[in-house]
Structure 1
Amino acid sequence: MCSLDVDFPAEIPTKQKMSMKVDQKLTPERLMQFGSVYAPPFIIGAAVSNKVFDTLAKEAKTVEEVGKATGASPRGLRAIMNALVGLELLRKSGDKYSLTPESEAFLVSNKPGTLAGFFPMNMKRLIPPWLKLDDIVRTGEPAEARNEEHPGTEFFTELVENIIPTSYSSAQALADHLKLAAAKQPIRVLDVAAGSGIWGIALAQKSPQVQVTAVDWAGMIPTTKRITQKFGVGDRFKFIEGDIGEADFGSGYDIATLGQSSIPPPIRRPHPGKEH
């Protein structure tokens, strides 16, 4: 038998002592943070709906001046504007409030990258279904049938324009990566489940050689058309109405995009005699 020289600790911690160590480090702080994260979207949404950011876009103002410009209650404005200072979306100097660079860029309604429309829509359309989550879990039934064309069209026509800023820079980065600005020959792009059309729009903006075919539900196409015209590339878009699982896309595309879709893309079943 061989002996080993091993230095054991003078006292080996028991399970009870280890448990006490862990318990001493536990706090409810993280759970309390989870419990209050609902507040910022509502605060921002209320401020957008009451034109707080738009009113402060030109110059700093007092609560009373914002109230006079918007018609909102000074008492309500004071509470919401002080909360926005806490969220670092407004600055306060004396009795005057002003925008921060972040709120000026993304929460003033007429700015190109604005998310101003997203927050009121979030309050109206995105948050309410979450309030039914306990029933959804119990029954397995969704709160809304957004993956079906008729109810889905109503929801997505409101959503897509308000989330353009979340995709636009990525779409522009794709266009740069593909070096579309240097294109000498026509480039055909297929934009599947186009929504706002922003992926095809960003590609078309990089080169006059780009022609885009946008595919989406029939009820979505008018929204897509309007947004492509707003961005100045409507004349280089064609449109195909239909469900992405059944529509005939045609063929001969150089680039295909599926920027965002809440509906799992189905297996394509090519039309007889058609090459996809």
Structure 2
Amino acid sequence: MSAPTAVAPSRALAPYEDAPDPGPLLALNFGFARARVLGTALELGVFTGLVRGPRGTSGLAVELDCDTGALRALLAALEQLGLVAGGADESWTLTNVSRAYLVEGGRGYLGEHFADVLAEWDQWSGLTELMRSGGHGGGELGAPENRDLYPGMFAGIFPVGVRAAFRAVRELALPDAGHVLDFASGAGEWGIALAAADPRARVVAHDSRELLDTARERAVEFGVAERFRFVPADFTRDYAGDFPKAPFPDGCFDTVVLSHLSRFAGPDATERLVHECARLLRPGGTLLVVDVMRQGPGQPALHRPMIALSLLVNTEAGGIQEESAYRAVMQKYGVTAKESVTPGLITVLTGERR
């Protein structure tokens, strides 16, 4: 860079004062550190340690086996992030949001989900090369047979997902749910919402064994467990290759829910799974396809662009598809696509088996 021409200090300062505020950029560049602060606090059990009431730094450090000075610095950062509150006597308490979502064992605990997201740390380091080479970053996240490796991703998000499920079921004019298959059920929020809306509904939750353990606990929490049956899925055996085959006979369900699987598995796997869901529905039965879907011009993007990029980085073939793509696949396999609702980030598309 050539030496600048000497001018009056006020003239030299003017371009810097007139420039946009760089604060948002600086905060964005430091975002990785904020995620690491949250992850470390969860790993140490900071929030769970504070749930019993105000604690001093020294006492908490002993309990968590931490250096007092280092923990004090972490707690100050957590206070800046709005996750703890410090008192004048250096006592620390939880804020409402951390009490609701960051205390291990609490019904709203999201720590396992955050841990699975933070585990993508190294995978994201390859983003620049992906931009040059194209394709996907790979990884195990998108394959259905690996769902039990990521319980935080597919079941740990229940406190968020269950609100969306109940809201969507209320908004949709669905027929009685009847005999329901909650396919790849995760923690079971969609089966639970349908069972709550229809007292006569009977639900089969179908997923890996570890995720079904969580679904069973949540069904008990909502008082619908006596109407649930839990059938483990062998995704390696039953859903590999071109012709997936669920362990259920043709046309045995009134309602089938395919939720939050398609964007991870990719378009080709989605087509095979929709085909299989159609096989399991009786004529006149209802298919619910639930996922994050690309929105049209003028619609709020919310977090969809970042989710799409995450699928590029962390899966073999995943991505966010448009609703029209799902409608076309449903039509191809004998399901007439009908109403859809988008309560926030997710879209719920309904269809009727012809």
**In which range does the TM-score fall when normalised by the shorter chain?**
0.7 to 0.9
Which TM-score applies when normalising by structure 1? 0.75
Change (3 A) 1:205 1:65: farther
Q: Which residue of 1 aligns with 2:44?
A: 50
**Deviations, residues 221-254 of structure 1 (Å, cap 9, x unaligned):** x023212321225551253734397234632544
Structure 1 distance, partners of 2:140, 2:216, is 30
Change (3 A) 1:48 1:186: closer
Contact 2:144–2:265 (8 Å) recurs in 1: no
Q: Which has the higher contact order (CA 8 A, sep 6+)?
A: 2
Q: Which residue of 2 aligns with 1:243?
A: 239
Structure 1 distance, partners of 2:32, 2:252, is 47
Structure 2 distance, partners of 1:156, 1:116, is 13
Q: Which residue of 2 aligns with 1:85?
A: 79
Q: Which residue of 2 aligns with 1:146?
A: 141
Contact 2:177–2:198 (8 Å) recurs in 1: no
Contact 1:42–1:119 (8 Å) recurs in 2: no
Q: Which runs of 5+ in 2 are unaligned?
A: 1-13, 284-352
Structure 2 distance, partners of 1:55, 1:146, is 31
The reply on whether 1:103 has 2:105 as its aligned counterpart is no
Structure 2 distance, partners of 1:205, 1:227, is 18
Contact 2:182–2:203 (8 Å) recurs in 1: yes
Aligned-pair identity in percent equals 22
Structure 2 distance, partners of 1:237, 1:175, is 21
Which TM-score applies when normalising by structure 2? 0.60
The reply on whether 1:266 has 2:271 as its aligned counterpart is yes
**Deviations, residues 97-129 of structure 1 (Å, cap 9, x unaligned):** 101111111111111011122233332x22221
User: What's the CA shift for 1:189?
Assistant: 1.8
Contact 1:105–1:111 (8 Å) recurs in 2: yes
Larger radius of gyration: 1
The number of residue pairs the alignment matches comes to 246
* Structure 1 ranges of 4+ moved more than 6 A: none
Contact 2:177–2:194 (8 Å) recurs in 1: no
The reply on whether 1:191 has 2:191 as its aligned counterpart is no
Contact 2:102–2:111 (8 Å) recurs in 1: yes
**Deviations, residues 181-226 of structure 1 (Å, cap 9, x unaligned):** xx9x77222323323322213333555522123444xxx2x02321
User: What's the CA shift for 1:141?
Assistant: 4.0
Change (3 A) 1:98 1:107: same
User: What's the CA shift for 1:41?
Assistant: 1.8
Change (3 A) 1:71 1:145: closer
Q: Which residue of 2 aligns with 1:172?
A: 166
Among 109, 118, 131, which residue is 2:113 paired with?
Answer: 118
The reply on whether 1:228 has 2:215 as its aligned counterpart is yes
User: What's the CA shift for 1:174?
Assistant: 3.5
The reply on whether 1:210 has 2:201 as its aligned counterpart is yes
Among 130, 141, 144, which residue is 1:136 paired with?
Answer: 130
Structure 1 distance, partners of 2:83, 2:141, is 33
Q: Say which SS state the counterpart of residue 162 (structure 1) adopts.
A: coil
Higher strand share: 2
Does 224-233 or 105-114 show the bigger shift?
224-233
- Give the letter aligned to residue 108 of structure 2: G
User: What's the CA shift for 1:260?
Assistant: 1.3
CA RMSD of aligned residues (A): 3.2
Contact 1:136–1:143 (8 Å) recurs in 2: no
Q: Which runs of 5+ in 1 are unaligned?
A: 1-19
Structure 2 distance, partners of 1:53, 1:240, is 34
